Amino acid sequence: LTEQPIVDAAAAHGVAPGQVVLRWHVQLGAVPVPKSGDATRQKENLDVFGFELTDDEVQAISALERGRLWDGDPDTHEEM
């Protein structure tokens, strides 16, 4: 949540970095399942439809790939 493209998009849209990441998932057609025990963050997690990332922002965030975003097969990559 501290990567520059995420921080920049959050500032541009007046939202939290976590909201940017959730919105990025939504715009890519994924269904994110966020978790938080904090009421404020729960509200933020629900408020990802009041803004839209630009194509450039989506591309910049997608470029942060670290080997897991596009090719992490859950049958062969176990994380705990």
Residue ranges of the domains in the chain? Answer: 4-62
pTM of the model: 0.78
Share of the chain above pLDDT 90, in %: 70
Please count the CA atoms within 13 angstroms of the CA of 66 that sit on its side-chain side: 2
Q: Average of pLDDT values for 25-46?
A: 92
pLDDT of residue 24: 96
59: left (phi over 0), alpha (psi -120 to 50) or beta: alpha
Query: Taking a C-beta distance cutoff of 8 angstroms, is the pair 45, 22 a contact?
Result: yes
